[in-house]
Chain A
């Protein structure tokens, strides 16, 4: 069965320190992977996507993620957190075969401390 797991429901970092949000997926097919961000009372905005091109993907606002097939992971990173990064982040997987469902992780709430 296809699934996606976000390992941390909450992450707290200090402003200016690195951010790591973890995501693992399970799939029988070749996945396409995304990270979305949701600020409070807002819709979801795409941060970046991986669709079988380069394994290191750069997104908006300094975020990037690396697809590691051997580890079935797609962790999101940023070298230096900013206060405006405080939000909820969703890892999303869909597949190049079969049903066209986007499967969302349960989300990681990022808190940035001054």
Chain B
């Protein structure tokens, strides 16, 4: 498996421009997570999906940020309009369900979160 694939790896844009980051999760993984990493705030969860449905978007900073997952193999994170404070590394990660998720609702352990290489965004 090629792992979690993110694009672009680097993006430099000017304030006010629209930015779209893309992610292809590992095939068969039901969960997809978007994280942002900055020196000041560390790793922050922005949003996560289960079976293409957004489950928790409480970490999305503001309305300028939106995320979609139109199918099981593709997700986007969009920033419109972008601002210099959005400069960060954005990571996508995917995982299998917790054991037992699909059966009895009894969770017997969590599966590994596999990260992409990240998209480094610089907004000038």
Which residues of A are interface residues toward B (Cβ below 8 A)? 32, 34, 36, 42-46, 49, 51-53, 90, 92, 94-97, 99-102, 104, 106-107
Contact = CB atoms under 8 A, between A and B. Distances in A.
- Minimum-distance CB pairs A-B, first 8: A51-B109, A32-B110, A96-B107, A43-B115, A104-B43, A44-B115, A43-B117, A94-B110
Interface residues of B, number: 23
B45 A96 contact: no
Contacts of A43: 91, 115-118
Interface of B: 31, 33, 42-43, 45, 48, 50, 55-56, 91, 93, 98, 107-110, 112-118
A25 to B, nearest CB: 13
Contact of B56 (A42, A49, A97, A101): A101
A13 B115 CA distance: 28
